[in-house]
Amino acid sequence: MDESLNAIEIWWLAISFIALTNIMLWFYSVKYYRINNSGLQAGFYNFRNWQISLSAVYVFVCAYRSVLPRVDVQRYVLYDSWFSNILLGRSFATLAELCFAIQWAIILHYLLKTSDNKHITRLPIVLIGLILLAEVCSWYAVISTNYLGHVFEESLWAISALVVICSVIAVWPVYVKQFKIIMTASIIGGFLYIGYLIMVDVPMYYSRWQLDELNTRQYMTLHEGLHDMATRWVVTHDWQDWKIETVWMSLYFSVGVWFSIAFINAPGFKREEK
Domain-located, residue 239: yes
**Residue 141 near residue 150, CB atoms below 8 Å:** yes
DSSP 71: E
Question: Largest Cα–Cα distance of the chain, in whole Å?
Answer: 65
Domain-located, residue 274: no
Count how many domains the chain has.
1
Amino acid at 145: T
Alpha-carbon gap, residue 73 to 90, rounded angstroms: 11
**What pTM value is reported for the model?**
0.90
**Host domain of residue 98:** 2-265
Domain-located, residue 193: yes
Domain-located, residue 270: no
Domain-located, residue 175: yes
At residue 41, the pLDDT reads 55
pLDDT tens digits, residue range 118-167? 677 888 999 999 999 999 999 999 999 999 999 999 999 999 999 999 88
Alpha-carbon gap, residue 65 to 92, rounded angstroms: 9
Domain-located, residue 271: no
User: What value, to the nearest 5°, has the Cα angle with vertex 193 and ends 243 and 58?
Assistant: 80
At residue 46, the pLDDT reads 76
Q: Which residue numbers in the chain have pLDDT < 70?
A: 1-5, 35-45, 114-118, 174-178, 267-274
**Residue 78 near residue 133, CB atoms below 8 Å:** no
Inter-axis angle of helices 86-112 and 123-144, nearest 10? 170
What does 104-158 look like in DSSP terms, one character per residue?
HHHHHHHHHTT-S-HHHHTHHHHHHHHHHHHHHHHHHHHHHT-THHHHHHHHHHH
Domain-located, residue 273: no
Domain-located, residue 272: no
